Amino acid sequence: MKTRTSRISGFYKRSLAERAALVAEWAGLTSAEQATLLGMSGLNAQQADNMIENAIGTYALPLGVATNFLVNGQDYLVPMVIEEPSVVAAVSNAARLFREGGGFITSSDEPVMIGQIQVLDLPDIYIAAGAIMANKAALMAEADKVGGSIVKHGGGARDIEVRPILDTPVGPMLIVHLLYDTRDAMGANAINTAAEHLANHIEALTGGRVNLRILSNLTDRRKARAEGMVPAKELATDSISGADAVKAIVEAGVFAEVDPYRATTHNKGIMNGVDAVVIATGNDWRAIESGAHAYAARDGQYRSLSHWWQDSDGNLCGSIELPLAVGIVGGATRVHPAAGLALRILGIQSARQLAEICAAVGLAQNFAAIRALATEGIQNGHMRMHARQLAVAAGASGEMVARVVQAMIEEGNIRLERAKALMIELTSK
Ligand code: MEV
């Protein structure tokens, strides 16, 4: 069997239709499915009407594919939905460099979510906590009764924890955590159903009053990790040596570990990659965002989600860890036609595998950003992208885009008026 590789050089130079055809062949898509990718069909207004209230139409975003990803020895093409230029190109280039270091190694926790039950008006908070702990097994069995298909697939309640919070403006409260394995689902519905179901039982056991019953988006039991190495020699350019680039990138990483102002932007770059995959696969990116940022502040100071260092051979190493509650069943993952295709392109078999890919993409995206920032700065690449958009706006297509862009860059005059003038000059030649 021919081994397939995501290391596709010049993917960006192909036409849009060629790229879609290549990806369709990679994922074994039918021509109708390929048409969905190209936006000829995709989510229609009727489907949108079934997804949210008061629908009046749909809103499209670009779907791109990142190349070159090698994760745990397996090749991936990564679908990404994002409106920001440069992100897909930067992450593909980064993945190519990590490939030289053997690709990404990833891991993840079991898909265990937390459901929170807030108990107030307790006669004695510690007696209440004891009663819950003494009846853990019964409460877990009760939660599993309403677990439906998740329990049939081997998921369900895993543990119960209690967290007394004594000093609050509304008096003491006991927070009960239901730890619940949601398997391949993101699991919000399952965990909320279980938490609501337990409320009466908890009131009966404690003599208290239950208020909120809802999942926590700080899914710190459901984290994914990625690690990778870029050989120093791959970082050398005409203007900087590999060793100096490694040093500058490590310094940039430390900046984000110690300063919340920088950490916020650093993590924004990470989420450029993570969110794009989360959105492409129909997952809830607000849940992922809130979880990631809360985790980044877990020790009381907001810090970077990644860590960069130099290994004993002088190469650049990076790692990332963040909560990643993504699913491959349920929700929009199966309702949105393009989300289903994104999962097919990834060839994903489990929610954990998807979470690990997201972590690898986050790390690669972060590397791309801080490498650019620590070496030539990002405006260079951005201006090229901006020039490209102006060339297209001026009416350029095909190879004329690159010619107009090149001329504007060489002249240092990147404006729509100049793009229009160049179109006339170059076509009349
Ligand atoms: C831009 O979308 C993201 C960056 O600002 C991230 C960073 O500064 O690390 C380039």
In the β-sheet with 112-120, what is the strand arrangement from edge to edge? 156-165, 173-181, 112-120, 209-216
What is the 3-state secondary structure of 241-292?
CHHHHHHHHHHHHHHHHHCHHHHHHHHHHHHHHHHHHHHHCCCCHHHHHHHH
- Same domain? For 212 and 79 the reply is no
Residue that the structure tokens 């932007």 belong to: 265
Q: What is the pLDDT of residue 4?
A: 86
Same domain for 25 and 100 = yes
366 Cα: distance to centroid of ligand 1 (angstroms): 8
Give nearest CA residue, ligand 1 atom 7. 266
Output the six-digit token pair for 254.
Answer: 């430390």
- How far does the centroid of ligand 1 lie from the alpha carbon of residue 88, in Å? 13
The DSSP element (H or E) to which 188 belongs, if any, is helix 188-206
- By alpha-carbon position, which residue is closest to atom 10 of ligand 1? 369
Ligand 1 atom at minimal distance to the Cα of residue 366: 9
Work out the number of other CB atoms within 10 angstroms of the CB of residue 215. Answer: 24
Q: What is the CATH classification number for the domain harbouring 273?
A: 3.90.770.10
Residues of the chain with pLDDT under 70: 1-2, 40-42
Residues 67 and 134 in one domain: no
Residues 191, 121 within the same domain: yes
Å from CA of 388 to ligand 1 middle: 20
Q: Is the residue at 57 inside a domain?
A: yes
DSSP H or E segment with residue 113: strand 112-120
Domain count, the chain: 3
- 422 domain-assigned: yes
- Residue closest by Cα to atom 9 of ligand 1: 266
Q: Does the global pTM surpass 0.85?
A: yes
Return the ligand 1 atom nearest residue 252 CA: 9
pLDDT of the residue at 34: 85
In a domain, 2, yes or no: no
**Could you tell me if 88 and 232 lie in one domain?**
yes
Do residues 241 and 316 make contact, with C-beta atoms less than 8 angstroms apart?
Answer: no
Q: What average pLDDT does the structure give for the chain? A: 94
Atom of ligand 1 nearest to the CA of 272: 2
Last residue within a domain, chosen from 334, 355, 376 = 376
Q: How far is CA 363 from CA 69, 92, 225, 251, in A?
A: 12, 12, 9, 16
For ligand 1, the distance from its centroid to the CA atom of residue 266, given in whole angstroms, is: 6
Query: What is the per-residue pLDDT for 377?
Result: 81
Other beta carbons within 10 Å of 138: 12
Domain hosting residue 54, numbered range = 11-106+225-376
Q: Are residues 200 and 237 in the same domain?
A: no
Domain check: are 241 and 353 in the same one?
yes
Ligand 1 proximity of 266 Cβ (cutoff 6 Å): yes
Q: Which of 352, 376, 400 is the last residue of a domain?
A: 376
The answer to whether residues 181 and 190 touch, using CB atoms and an 8 Å cutoff, is: no
Same domain? 395 vs 325: no
Quote the CA–CA distance of 166 and 148 in Å, as a whole number.
Answer: 35
From 84, 249, 259, 265, mutation site for ligand 1 pocket: most ligand atoms within 8 A of C-beta:
265
Q: Is 265 in the pocket of ligand 1 (CB under 6 A)?
A: yes
Which segments within 182-253 are labelled E, that is strand?
A: 209-216, 223-230
Residue 385's CATH number: 1.10.8.660
The answer to whether the CB of 273 falls within 8 A of the CB of 320 is no
Domain boundary among 339, 355, 376: 376
Same domain? For 367 and 402 the reply is no
Q: 232 and 355 share a domain?
A: yes
Domain of 126: which CATH number? 3.30.70.420
